[in-house]
Chains A and B, each alone.
Chain A
Amino acid sequence: MTSPLLKVTDLRVNFISRWPNEPSVDVLRGVSFELYRGERVALVGESGAGKSLLATSIIQLFDSSARISQGEVEFEGQPLTQLKPKQLRQVRGRRIGMVFQDPMTNLNPTLTLEQQLLECILSHRRISRAEARLVALHKLRQVHIPAPEARLQQYPHQLSAGQRQRATIAMALALEPALIIADEPTSALDVTMQAEVMSLLTHLCHSNGVALLLITHDLSLVAHASDRCLIMYAGQIVEQGPTHSLINDAQHPYTQGLIKALPQMSAPGQPLFQIPGQMPTVDELGHYCAFAKRCEFAHDLCWKKAPAMPLVNDHRASCHLLVAPKTHIGAKL
């Protein structure tokens, strides 16, 4: 197999407390995954699971109080964690493009699209303004923005939400990155716009070999828009594998719960399955399974040590039940 495009090994990120006596807290607690060229990987989890922090940690675009305490991020064979800020800027935007969540706020309202796109292109490439403008036009056409010449002169508020999100994608694409990190790219959009943006991203992955890391909390979207899926819970990846097998044969009780809680999983009018309680806060976590408190199958071992991540069928899940006697898994999907 070819070497991965992005390889994250045992990544731990903590936030340093402002008070000298308080310990710093680990928010990402040992995340490892790989991403190959042209692959679409979805990162799924509830809010507060650390999805966005993982995305920003890859390109170290996080808050100044956050710190990578351990682990390695390797991108195109380059260890990103050891790069100097100047070298890192060569990677951000140029090799790794980022699409942020809210199309209303991620474009600068005081600049026209042309100014923003050209700024992005010219800060990385030594070409003339006229050439850069051609690149910008080409990218806008690529994301199906009608009449791109006219659009370049417009301000973000003159575009619809869907067009704005497509303009953001065009900006992320402008320097032909090898990886696009999309942080909830469609959660502010309608279903019709969502379908359009997702088919655009999928098309780009297939035709240009761009890899996509899609951060979302919508499992039904993941089912169609990703090849592989990582389920994240309380700063750790609890299950990962090919999307198809993960959704049809979920092993971790949390993944099973997420799927069962979808409204379409119960007959209309019937009560929905709900995962009791809520995600633990960082100071509640210990050296045991983070999901034990909410898990209906939890037993003694779950409270004693953190589970390993065994390979089950063709995907991995970190749950004691998969190693220990299988009899505990009573009700499966």
Chain B
Amino acid sequence: MTNTPVLLEISNLHKSYHAPNKDHNWLPNFFSTSHSNRIKAINGLNLSIAVGETLCVVGESGCGKSTLASLVMGLEQPDQGYISYQGNIINGLNHTHRQEYHKRMQMVFQDPYTALNPRLTVLHVLVEPLLYHQPQMKRQDAIDQAMAQLLAVGIDESLAQRFPHQLSGGQRQRINIARALMVCPEFIVADEPLSALDVSIQAQILNLLAQLQHQQQLTYLIFSHNLAVVEHMADRVAVMYEGQICEIASRQKIFNQPLHPYTQALLAASPQIYKNPSNYQKLVGDVPNRIPTQQGCSLQDRCPKAFETCRHQNPKAKEIEPNHWLACHLITTTRMNSE
């Protein structure tokens, strides 16, 4: 993993949004200047993705997964920090300069029912990005490429003139994937690509994603909360909580020897068909209100093992083993003491 080149690097990324002002609802947002009224969606996040790997990001809803996806794709601008793609910083670029990266990175959205324009036929949906990025291209060539792409994702050519409502959920998700692949990207960001699908269709899409990655040497950044899916397809897994990465390691490490209490709790909560769920301790309570008013680790109120240091200091990510990063006082302090 270390010798393959890095495709995307995210460093110390911050993104916050205005929280609705509870006391003065009538005040417009720009009056509220205090920082306590901002929800920190992404809070100092570091991540790097190597060429050709599949990195899965897991976390509960509200932990900032979708915000991270939009930041990476340039749909939102970060407050602080940078995102670099093959060594070039890509956040803050203007529209013209960003254009080049739009071709190289594409996104697959969560809900196949709303991600397609209901007024456009399948063919139109596929041809549009191609003609946008290459305006000089002949229309017939674009149509030929779209037809070839349809075959590649396993959709019959006869469906090309159909509208999205005439397709099933699985077919629509295939069209979504085909659309992302039309401009021959290197990097695919998929935000919960399977959560709206049935088990049998989920299997078809998982196989398709694996096959496409193999054929076109794609790099995937996949956001999911389904751990079974993640275990099946990830090379590396990043566990996200409250806008930060709390543990990142290879798939085997995360599923066999998770160290962070949050990772352990996620594994304990996810049902397995033939095995009992792991015996790790579960979390207590709900996802906290996310306007930060307290110091220390963001997990402190839910963590069964929280101790004094967790109340004061926000844990920093440390590499405790090669390629295994962890942000938890419990593990890092006990390890340091034992050494």
Contact = CB atoms under 8 A, between A and B. Distances in A.
A135 to B, nearest CB: 24
Contacts of A192: 60, 265-266, 269, 282-283
B228 A217 contact: no
Interface of B is mostly: helix
A120 interface: no
A191 B225 contact: yes
Nearest to A278: B168
A121 interface: no
B233 A268 contact: yes
A274 B207 contact: yes
A318 interface: no
B232 A263 contact: yes
Contact of A223 (B200, B251, B272, B283): B272
Interface in B208-238: 210-211, 225-229, 231-234
B27 interface: no
Given A220-B228, A264-B232, A46 B198 contact: yes
A269 B210 contact: yes
Contact of B232 (A161, A219, A221, A272): A272
Contact of B170 (A220, A221, A278): A278
Interface stretch (A58-66, A122-130, A254-262, A307-315): A254-262
A260 to B, nearest CB: 8
A47 B198 CA distance: 7
A99 B114 CA distance: 26
A40 to B, nearest CB: 14
Contact of A195 (B169, B170, B268): B268
Interface string A272-290: 1111001000000000000
A235 interface: no
Interface string A217-242: 11111011100000000000000000
Interface in B142-188: 168-170
B206 interface: yes
Given A192-B60, A271-B210, A274-B207, A261 B273 contact: no
A228 B232 CA distance: 28
B273 A191 contact: no
B199 A219 contact: yes
A247 interface: yes
Interface residues of A, number: 40
Given A223-B273, A257-B200, A272 B207 contact: yes
B333 interface: no
Contact of A264 (B231, B266, B276, B282): B231
Given A162-B286, A224-B277, A278-B168, A263 B206 contact: yes
Nearest to B170: A278
A190 B288 CA distance: 14
A255 B170 CA distance: 20
A101 interface: no
A160 interface: yes
Range, interface on chain B: 35 or more
Nearest to A261: B203
A265 B274 CA distance: 10
Interface in B234-283: 234, 251, 265-266, 268-274, 276-277, 282-283
B61 interface: yes
Interface string A177-220: 00000000000001111110000000000000000000001111
A263 B61 contact: no
Given A163-B286, A192-B269, A263 B274 contact: no
Contacts of A272: 203, 206-207, 232
B204 interface: yes
B266 to A, nearest CB: 6
Contacts of A258: 199-200
A261 B199 contact: yes
B287 interface: yes
Contacts of B206: 263, 272
A324 to B, nearest CB: 25
Contact of A220 (B251, B271, B285): B271
B202 interface: yes
Contacts of A56: none
A160 B269 contact: no
Contacts of A194: 269, 271
Interface centre among B202, B203, B234, B269 (most CB of A within 10 A): B203
Contacts of B233: 263, 268-269
A3 interface: no
B203 A195 contact: no
A91 B6 CA distance: 63
A224 B272 CA distance: 8
Given A262-B273, A278-B170, A191 B227 contact: yes
Contacts of B282: 192, 195
A142 interface: no
B271 A223 contact: yes
Interface in A116-160: 146, 160
A46 B269 contact: no
A224 B170 contact: no
B251 A247 contact: no
Contacts of A218: 199, 271
14 contacts: A46-B199, A47-B169, A191-B226, A192-B265, A195-B277, A195-B282, A220-B272, A223-B274, A261-B199, A261-B200, A261-B202, A263-B231, A268-B231, A278-B201
The 9 tightest CB contacts between A and B, nearest first, are A263-B232, A195-B269, A261-B203, A272-B203, A190-B60, A220-B271, A220-B273, A274-B203, A275-B200
Interface of A: 46-47, 146, 160-163, 190-195, 217-221, 223-225, 247-248, 257-259, 261-266, 268-269, 271-275, 278
